[in-house]
Amino acid sequence: MQTKTTIEHAKLKSWVESANDRNHPFPIQNLPYGAFVSQADTDTHIGVAIGDYVLDLAVLEEVGLLPIKQGVFRRATLNEFMALGPEAWAKTRERLQQLLSSSHPELRDDESLISRALIDRAQVTMQLPIDVPGYTDFYSSKEHATNVGKLFRDEKNTLLPNWSELPIAYNGRASSVVVSGTPIKRPIGQIRLPDDERPQLAPCRKLDFELEMAFVVGKPTQLGTSVPCDQAEQHIFGMVLLNDWSARDIQAWEYVPLGPFNSKTFATSISPWVVPMSALEPFRVAAPQQDPTPLTYLRCATDGTFDITLQASICPANSQRATRLASTNFRHLYWTMAQQLAHHTISGCNLRVGDLMGSGTISGPTPDSLGSLLEITKNGKEPVTLETGEVRTFIENHDEVILSGWCQADDFRVGFGECTGRVLPA
């Protein structure tokens, strides 16, 4: 059933006709931010996706149509805009929805300005939308953690004692976060085969994807302070799709005692469009029941998760036929974004604008909702057959992995686009 907020959103229509298709990922209700280079200009600008187009915010800012006047949209990333804070985010979004509304003539009837500011998305190249000073990857899906525990531990110890008490995470490598479409070179690392006494240096044989989402920090904090759970979402600018590529055989050898290192550092892909939190508000839902009741600092008064459909597919080289491997939902995550951020800062760790925080692999309760090949194939023991007839246990060279995600209302869809990456040989 639609909420009042959803119904009000549904009434919005744009003069950009392609944005009014109920299944288009980029309607006026969405307006995700991204960084792009057009064929007509080699400089990177900030824009929003609307239907089949990109609206160049640098052009609108230049002619005085936006409430922002600091030149933040003629930049390579969103960081300067995000640093202006939640009030600036809200005013900009409100103004953009007004300018793009079918009932508002200011931009709609200015053909000269439209010719400069509205660009076919097929004519732009998307860039990494944020400068990432820090990257954290959580491990917040109970289904995923349980499945992995069953693969590597006995049934009685699938979840370690701390898992249900705190959002488990590790610090990742921010420098290797790349935008969707960037080729991923197969990593090389130490691997110890089952019958060998010592490891060898070799290309990864068990390359995997992880179907994740991530939130982007827009409001920083000072070192030594913490963020209460009920205030955590005030620090979140928006969300992206995330593929935390994983070298499972390298990981198996290196992760004890300090966790993954080279098995994760070689690449993390994110989608080019950052969907603002206000666009997701109509899709807020209750998080899973938590048992035991979390410690006080992890308790939030409001429902803290969202109904976001997620899918992962794989497309072999020289083929146009992708095979869907997983269909799951963000709402399955046990630990919410607010709890993740509150726990991240409880020690006094400071937040910086652009910090990226991954959810961890998002798996659901059914066999078709597993968010990694490690789970799908039970660590290679149960291969999957693709629509092309080819068989996979893990990702082969020249395979392309495609993640997608969206929220669906009766009359509109809020989409994240795609997060893709094709694997190249080591």
Q: How many Å apart are CA 47 and CA 38, to the nearest integer?
A: 11
Active site residue 235: no
Query: What does the block give as tokens for 399?
Result: 């395979």
Among the listed residues 45, 144, 235, 344, the single catalytic one is 144
Phi, psi dihedrals of residue 82, rounded to the nearest 5° = -60, -35
SS3 letters for the chain?
CCCHHHHHHHCCCECCHHHHCCCCCCCCCCCCEEEEEECCEEEEEEEEEECCEEEEHHHHHHCCCCCCCCCCCCCCCCHHHHCCCHHHHHHHHHHHHHHHECCCHHHHCCHHHHHHHEEEHHHEEEECCCCCCCEEEECCCHHHHHHHHHHHCCHHHCCCCCCCCCCCEEECCHHHEEECCCCEECCEEEECCCCCCCCEEEECCCEECCEEEEEEECCCCCCCCCCCHHHHHHHEEEEEEEECCEEHHHHHHHCCCCCCCHHHHCCEEECCCEEEHHHHHHHEECCCCCCCCCCHHHCCCCCCEECCEEEEEEECCCCCCCEEEEEEEHHHCCCCHHHHHHHHHCCCCCCCCCCEEECCCCCCCCHHHCCCHHHHCCCCCCCEECCCCCEECCCCCCCEEEEEEEEECCCCEEEEEEEEEEEECC
The strands making up 53-56's β-sheet, listed across from edge to edge, are: 118-120, 53-56, 41-50, 33-38, 124-127
- Cα dist. 383→153, 379, 390 in Å? 21, 9, 10
Q: Is the peptide bond before 257 cis (omega within 30 degrees of 0)?
A: yes
Note whether 86 and 75 are within 8 A (CB). no
Q: Are 189 and 204 in contact (CB under 8 A)?
A: yes
What is the Cα–Cα distance from 292 to 271, expressed in whole angstroms? 35
Residues annotated as part of the active site: 144
